[in-house]
Amino acid sequence: MTVRVRIAPSPTGNLHIGTARTAVFNWLFARHQGGKFILRIEDTDLERSRPEYTENILAGFGWLGLNWDEGPFFQSQRLDMYKEAVGKLLEQGLAYRCYTTSEELEKLREAQKARGEAPRYDNRHRHLTPEQEAAFKAEGRSCVIRFKIEDEREIVWNDLVRGTMTWRGSDLGGDMVIARASETGIGQPLYNFVVVVDDIDMQITHVIRGEDHIANTAKQILLYEAFGGKIPEFAHTPLILNMEGRKLSKRDGVTSISDFQKMGFTAEALVNYMTLLGWSPPESTKEIFSLDTAAKEFSFERVNKAGAKFDWAKLDWLNSQYVHNMPIDKLTDLIIPFWQDAGFTFEEGRERPWLEQLVGLISQSLTRLVDAVAMSQPFFTETVELTAEASEQLQKEGSADALQAILTALENQPQLSEAAAQDIIKQVVKEQKLKKGLVMRWLRAALTGDVHGPDLIQSWLLLNQISLDKPRLQQAMDVEI
């Protein structure tokens, strides 16, 4: 048997971290088993589905490295097949037309609520006679299609994560609507129904999804049986929670995959982190690994039942490890778009060596790629805005004289080198009887507008290459002192 799994996002929004994590587990299992990873776009919600969301989903999977083997398949292009399948259930007496109005359903729910009962449909139209149906049609009522669910039926499956799962038909809310209302025939088929039709048609062997789908699984097993299809194995993965143990929401700062990209996370770090949201590798201390490495070790025995807490600090740490160990040329490629979005101007081709030097200078200080914007700001502007600490340093007694001495020394340095820069600082320290650390703080404040940053001498040399050091030192003296 060839393992076949699927990820089936709905294009009613951008690709979210929860859907992406589910896709990661599907991809890992398929690759571990030498199987197929299939992409299906569940776009039957025609009112809310948007092509830009589909593009975002496809781009997100591509960025994360979750290459699919078949698809994407679009449910909106398969409507005739779904309606034909609904017709078969009607012919077999496994489904029926229900003419209950929304007002009648609301009255039913209110009565159940008053009695302290869970809301459920009472199957009142399951056995309508042809005459009753004709009367409802004459009233102008439209009908939904409901699939019959027997209350006494027991549904059991062995979940690959949770073990034996048991549901009773009476817990599923009555006969299930599988197609929307229509006055002319069969309306829009609904999620639980089309999922099963697609899974049978695509020969899906394993359904891997979040635990919030468990109730759907019980209903869908009944539909697999009704069609005589092979029931796939199921694995319900833990939900992603916030640090307080509640289901993750946008209030926790959780965003779409494209927003994680804009926030400066690398694809490698994000997908690495997602593998750890509910799964642990055999080597419990091992936290940094590629998708391919994880696929070799992936199994559901190591998927947790408990919810996985999303930890921003852990993701930041992982991202920093990937950034710090990334080749400078690749890191430069990733940072350039952030510089461009910030409005920095440069000729990438002509200035590429200088850009890579700058990236090499700041790389070990980066946590997220976007951090490169603030760290690089002094290298792309002729003037810098001083922080409060830098301004305070430049107002200290002796700073103006020290900076003037540096300016004077630079007059004799047509080409500043590392050794020459070190000699200038030593000369100023000796002549003005100052501490070296103090002179270097003043110089950094004048050059970069801050008292913190990457290596000062290397920063100075880079600035010297674009002739910004002397004007900036003079500016700091003129404006702040």
Cα separation values, 30 from 13, 23, 157, 184, 471, Å: 26, 10, 21, 42, 60
CA angle 162, 165, 166 (to 5 degrees): 165
Cα separation values, 418 from 266, 352, 425, Å: 33, 21, 11
Q: Which tokens is 432 given?
A: 């003005």
Among 153, 200, 201, which Cα is nearest to 176's? 153
Three-state secondary structure call for residue 417:
coil
CA atoms within 13 A on the CB side of 293: 14
Partners of residue 209 on adjacent β-strands: 236
Residue 385 to residue 47: CA distance in whole angstroms: 49
DSSP state of 186: -
Residue 158 to residue 297: CA distance in whole angstroms: 22
Residue 221 to residue 176: CA distance in whole angstroms: 13
DSSP string for residues in 360-401: HHHGGG-SSTTHHHHHHHHHH-SS-PPPHHHHHHHTSTTHHH
Q: Which tokens is 9 given?
A: 């996002």
How many separate helices (H) and strands (E) can be counted in the chain?
Answer: 20, 12
Helix 348-362 vs helix 371-380: angle between axes, to the nearest 10 degrees? 120
CB crowding 356-369: b at 16 or more within 10 Å, else e: bbbbebbbebbbbb
Tell whether 250 is in a known binding site: yes
Active site residue 296: no
Cα separation values, 106 from 111, 133, 173, 428, 439, Å: 9, 21, 14, 85, 78
Among 188, 155, 159, which Cα is nearest to 78's? 188
Cα 339 to chain centroid distance, Å, stands at 23
Residue 247 to residue 168: CA distance in whole angstroms: 26
> Rounded to 5 degrees, what are φ and ψ at 123?
60, 30
Q: Which of 250, 330, 396, 430 is catalytic?
A: 250
SS (H, E, C) 433-457: CCCHHHHHHHHHHHHHCCCCCCCHH
Q: Which tokens is 264 given?
A: 């400066």
Q: Residues annotated as binding site?
A: 250
Residues annotated as catalytic are 250
Q: Residues annotated as binding site for ATP?
A: 250
